[in-house]
């Protein structure tokens, strides 16, 4: 590929992105009270937010439903064609329906509008044509019209689907704020994700509690090296009985070898130990352990009970799997 061809490709990409940026800016500037009405309608509903749409609008609808559901607004996607052939029973009287159709004239959606009205549901439409049949038959209309598609033929849904996604995200974010949705709520709905794991699991769930590399204060340099290597934690814990005296890391050993080379094999663990190592209790959340490590610029914490007795070790690698 020549440099000229690469430049042409990048120019096309930038034009496409710029077209969509301009459309989003215009949509932001024209956002009105109807958006707030839509948020209030969903917020005050006693049921779910049922999202429906065909084609590309349907794909965007699936994404919007998933985003709503994961951010505190119960929601699912209903295919309008399947709905017309029996799945309308999935819509309860308490639900709010969000229908996506850029033209506002999608036949499969218009066919289920009479049921939505007769069932007593509120209908929010998201179209690019405020004068369309769907818009006029909705309780609230959200305008996602764009001046042009980013597609070079101005035909394939590109800018219009970006506008729909942005409007859906705006709804989800606004609803999150109005509901007081917190990071803890998010974690509860995402227990398998990284954030959920850190917010829900405790130090005791992941700490290493067996075969800890514990040595006495008078441990020799040779035994220190062996204990660090065997322990696999990059450190050893210096204990005098049940009392924790400090820790020695592999970095401490390397520095001692460089600075005290002549006497290295005569030093004891207590000579190079870091006293008062950072500790945490087993019942603390992983995210608290992570914050403590970040704040103190360490990668390991000793886990202790109320009496200060060693229970285990947790490392940053245990948190960020």
Sheet holding 75-77, edge to edge: 75-77, 49-53, 96-100, 122-127, 140-143
Q: Is residue 188 part of a domain?
A: no
CA dist list (Å): 37 to 114, 139, 232: 22, 9, 58
- Evaluate if residue 190 carries a pLDDT over 80: yes
pLDDT at 33 over 90: yes
In a domain, 198, yes or no: no
Q: Which whole-number Å values give the CA distances from 213 to 43, 50, 89, 121, 313, in the listed order?
A: 55, 56, 62, 64, 10
Note whether residue 228 is domain-resident. Answer: yes
**Pair 122, 250 in one domain:** no
Query: What is the predicted pLDDT for the residue at 68?
Result: 98
Give the three-state DSSP class for 242: coil
Asked which of 80-89, 126-135, 255-264, 297-306 is least confident by mean pLDDT, the reply is 255-264
The share of the chain scoring above pLDDT 90, in percent, equals 87
219 and 121 assigned to the same domain: no
Looking at the predicted structure, is the pLDDT value of residue 192 above 80?
Answer: no
pLDDT exceeds 90 at position 37: yes
Residues 239 and 114 in one domain: no
pLDDT attached to residue 69: 97
Write b or e for each residue in 234-265: b if 16 or more Cβ atoms lie within 10 A of its Cβ, otherwise e.
Answer: ebbbbbeeeebbbbbbbebbeebeeeeeeeee
d(CA 102, CA 273): 68
User: What is the full DSSP assignment across 146-166?
Assistant: -S--SSTTS-SSSHHHHHHHH
**Claim to verify: residue 148 and residue 255 sit in the same structural domain:** no
Per the structure, the complete domain to which residue 80 belongs is given by 3-181
Is 292 a member of any domain?
Answer: yes
Residue 79 annotated as part of some ligand binding site:
yes
48 and 126 in a single domain? The answer is yes
Distance CA(82)–CA(29), nearest Å, equals 36
Closest by Cα among 88, 93, 90 to 108: 88
133 and 66 within one domain: yes
CATH number of the domain bearing residue 11: 3.40.50.10490
Beta strands in 198-309 (DSSP E): 214-215, 235-240, 243-249, 279-280, 300-304
Burial bucket for residue 192 (CB in 10 Å: 0-12, 13-18, 19+): exposed
pLDDT over 80 (residue 137): yes
**Residue 147 and residue 44 share a domain:** yes
Q: Residue 208: its pLDDT value, please?
A: 94
Whole-prediction pTM: 0.75
Same structural domain, 247 and 153: no
Same domain, 11 and 78: yes
For 172-182, what is the mean pLDDT? 96
> 59 and 79 in contact (C-beta within 8 Å)?
no
Give Cα separations from 184 to 196, 198, 201, 291, 294 (angstroms).
Answer: 8, 10, 12, 16, 20
Domain count, the chain: 2
The answer to whether residue 103 is domain-embedded is yes
Q: Does residue 243 sit within a domain?
A: yes
What is the distance between the alpha carbons of residues 217 and 204, in angstroms, rounded to a whole number?
A: 27
User: Does 29 lie in the same domain as 122?
Assistant: yes
Q: Check whether residue 76 and residue 168 sit in a common domain.
A: yes
> In this structure, what CATH number is given to the domain that contains residue 242?
3.10.580.10
DSSP conformational letter for 284: S
User: Does one domain contain both 28 and 122?
Assistant: yes
Does some domain include residue 257? Answer: yes
Predicted confidence (pLDDT) per residue in 234-276, tens digit: 999 999 998 999 999 999 999 998 888 888 889 999 999 999 9
The secondary structure of residue 88, as a DSSP letter, is G
> What's the DSSP call for residue 60?
H
In angstroms, rounded to a whole number, what is the distance separating the alpha carbons of residues 109 and 125? 10
Query: 3-class DSSP state for residue 241?
Result: coil
Mean of the pLDDT values across residues 68-97?
96
pLDDT at 321 over 70: no
pLDDT of res. 187: 83
Is residue 192 included in any domain, yes or no?
no
How many whole angstroms separate alpha carbon 115 and alpha carbon 7?
53
Look up residue 120 and give its two tokens. Answer: 């007593």
What is the distance between the alpha carbons of residues 149 and 70, in angstroms, rounded to a whole number?
Answer: 30
Residue 215 phi, psi dihedral angles, 5° rounding: -135, 165
């Amino acid at each position: 590929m020549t440099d000229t061809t690469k430049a042409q490709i990048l120019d096309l990409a930038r034009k496409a992105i710029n077209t969509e940026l301009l459309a989003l800016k215009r949509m932001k500037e024209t956002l009105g009270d109807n958006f707030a009405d839509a948020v209030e309608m969903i917020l005050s509903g006693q049921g779910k937010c049922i999202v429906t749409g065909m084609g590309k609008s349907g794909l965007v609808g699936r994404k919007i439903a998933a985003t709503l559901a994961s951010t505190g607004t119960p929601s699912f996607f209903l295919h309008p064609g399947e709905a017309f052939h029996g799945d309308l029973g999935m819509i309860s009287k308490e639900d709010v329906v969000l229908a996506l159709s850029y033209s506002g004239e999608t036949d499969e959606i218009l066919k289920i509008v009479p049921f939505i009205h007769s069932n007593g549901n509120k209908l929010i439409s998201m179209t690019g044509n405020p004068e369309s049949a769907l818009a006029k038959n909705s309780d609230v209309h959200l305008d996602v019209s764009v001046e042009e598609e980013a597609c070079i033929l101005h035909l394939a849904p590109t800018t219009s689907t970006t506008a729909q996604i942005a409007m859906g995200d705006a709804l989800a974010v606004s609803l999150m704020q109005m509901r007081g949705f917190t990071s803890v709520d998010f974690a509860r709905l995402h227990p398998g994700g990284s954030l959920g794991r850190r917010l829900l699991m405790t130090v005791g769930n992941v700490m290493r509690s067996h075969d800890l590399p514990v040595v006495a204060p008078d441990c020799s340099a040779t035994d220190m090296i062996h204990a660090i290597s065997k322990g696999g934690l990059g450190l050893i814990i210096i204990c005098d009985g049940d009392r924790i005296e400090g820790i020695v890391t592999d970095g401490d050993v390397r520095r001692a070898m460089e600075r005290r080379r002549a006497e290295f094999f005569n030093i004891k663990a207590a000579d190079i130990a870091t006293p008062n190592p950072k500790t945490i209790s087993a019942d603390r959340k992983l995210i608290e352990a992570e914050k403590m490590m970040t704040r103190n610029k360490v990668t390991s914490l000793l886990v202790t009970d109320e009496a200060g007795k060693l229970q285990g070790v947790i490392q940053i690698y245990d948190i960020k799997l």
